[in-house]
């Protein structure tokens, strides 16, 4: 993801958090029911994907590793603020690049939260120390741990077109290990291949059946299909009138139920963002505490319209 706002396709749009380019009041979303607190474990990743929204790679350390003491401080803040959080999510980068990932997950699980880890299920997850930690956590907290695996397409050719030759096979190897040790899996795919959603779900189910993966392709929480996130695509701005026009509620938008904690390179402490999808845009940085992060969020970015309001997507389980 680039730091700049959209180019010619959305010229003049998404400039003012209060009003649209046409002068209409811009829609905002309140944190009405906080359910998920995300932690970005760092932007380092073992691979470089063609269209990674956060530009993760083996070299990108713009967001550095979150530590277990930092995570525990935010877990304390959840209790202090009385947020009804049910799930702690971990994303990256590749979360298992963070040497404290097992400790991070364990800290959240011991507080009673469900834990969701987004991973490519490749080599960082397959290290013996990590495998042993996952087995131990899954045994200690049955039914509380889910790993969501990035499978960009159900076919090897299209998945590898995004992630590199051989990536599909290595991911399947990791998924087969998770299957064999009984750790619950979900899948995150993409809808950029010119096929209908129904056809994509049929393709994923065939993949699951072939490998005996206990994943439901028809359940949008278990097989999450994300729309393309391209800032150069023309999208409408969301006004306050759009909720009634579209028949949607601001309570259904992701920033009504979640926040994400990141730590920027060189920063003394982590900060809280409004959205998991906008890690580099300063207007979505809400402060260093959960108390500061309780304020309303203006839908002042193309992703707000295309991904969350019109696409109806959510990162949570």
From the list 116, 97, 106, the residue with the least C-alpha distance to 185 is 116
At residue 31, the pLDDT reads 98
Q: Are 56 and 45 in contact (CB under 8 A)?
A: yes
Residue 306 has pLDDT above 90, yes or no: no
Question: Quick one: which of 162, 149, 153 has its CA closest to 95?
Answer: 149
236 or 265, greater pLDDT: 265
pLDDT band at 315 (very low <50, low <70, confident <90, very high): low
The per-residue pLDDT for range 128-152, each reduced to its tens digit, is: 999 999 999 999 999 999 999 999 9
- Average pLDDT rounded to a whole number, residues 102-110: 98
Q: Which residues pair with 87 in a beta bridge?
A: 36, 114
Distance CA 314, CA 317 (A): 8
For the segment(s) 8-310, the CATH number from 3.20.20.70, 3.40.50.2000, 3.40.50.720, 3.20.20.80 is 3.20.20.70
- Among 9-23, 64-78, 247-261, the minimum mean pLDDT is found in 9-23
Q: How confident is the model at residue 312 (pLDDT cuts 50, 70, 90)?
A: low
Tell whether the model's pLDDT for residue 160 goes beyond 70: yes
- Taking alpha carbons only, the member of 252, 255, 248, 220 closest to residue 34 is 255
**Whole-number pLDDT of residue 1:** 38
**Taking phi first (over 0 means left), then psi (-120 to 50 degrees means alpha), and beta for anything else, what does residue 143 get?**
left
The residues pairing with 88 across neighbouring beta strands, listed in sequence order, are 37, 115
pLDDT digits (tens, 9 = 90+) for 165-195: 999 999 999 999 999 999 999 999 998 888 9
Helix axes 167-181, 197-211, angle to 10 degrees: 60
Give the pLDDT mean for 242-258. Answer: 94
The residue among 133 and 11 whose pLDDT is bigger is 133
The predicted structure's pLDDT at residue 6: 45
CA atoms within 13 A on the CB side of 23: 0
pLDDT attached to residue 243: 93
What are the sequence ranges of the domains in the chain?
8-310
| Percent of the chain clearing pLDDT 70 (strictly above) | 94
Count of alpha carbons within 13 Å of 87, Cβ hemisphere only?
21
Q: Which pLDDT does position 120 carry in this prediction? A: 98
Mean pLDDT of 225-254: 86
Q: Higher confidence at residue 313 or residue 243?
A: 243
Nearest to 13 by CA among 299, 311, 309: 299
pTM of the model: 0.93
Q: What average pLDDT score do residues 147-164 get?
A: 97
**Does the pLDDT at position 34 exceed 80?**
yes
């Amino acid at each position: 993801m680039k730091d700049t706002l959209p180019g010619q396709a959305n010229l003049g749009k998404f400039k003012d958090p209060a009003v649209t380019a046409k002068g209409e009041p811009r829609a905002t979303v309140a944190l009405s029911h906080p359910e998920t607190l995300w932690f970005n474990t760092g932007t380092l990743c073992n691979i470089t994907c063609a269209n990674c929204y956060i530009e993760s790679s083996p070299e990108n350390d713009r967001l550095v590793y979150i530590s277990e003491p930092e995570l525990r401080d935010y877990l304390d803040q959840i209790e202090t603020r009385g947020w009804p959080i049910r799930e702690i999510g971990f994303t990256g980068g590749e979360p298992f690049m963070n040497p404290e990932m097992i400790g991070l997950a364990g800290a959240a699980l011991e507080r009673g939260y469900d834990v969701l880890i987004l991973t490519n299920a490749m080599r960082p997850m397959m290290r013996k120390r990590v495998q042993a930690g996952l087995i131990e956590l899954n045994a200690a907290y049955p039914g509380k741990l889910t790993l969501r695996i990035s499978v960009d397409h159900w076919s090897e050719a299209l998945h590898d077109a995004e992630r590199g030759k051989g990536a599909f096979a290595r991911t399947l190897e990791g998924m087969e290990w998770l299957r064999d040790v009984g750790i619950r899996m979900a899948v995150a795919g993409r809808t950029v291949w010119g096929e209908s959603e129904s056809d994509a779900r049929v393709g994923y189910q065939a993949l699951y059946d072939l490998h005996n993966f206990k994943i439901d392709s028809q359940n949008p929480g278990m097989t999450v299909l994300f729309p393309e996130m391209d800032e150069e695509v023309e999208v409408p701005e969301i006004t306050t009138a759009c909720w009634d026009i579209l028949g949607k509620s601001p309570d259904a938008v992701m920033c009504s139920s979640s926040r994400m904690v990141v730590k920027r390179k060189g920063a003394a402490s982590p900060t809280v963002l409004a959205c998991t999808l906008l890690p580099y845009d300063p207007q979505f940085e809400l402060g260093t505490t959960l108390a500061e992060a309780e304020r309303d969020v203006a839908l002042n970015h193309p992703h707000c319209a295309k991904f969350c309001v019109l696409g109806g997507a959510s990162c949570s389980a």
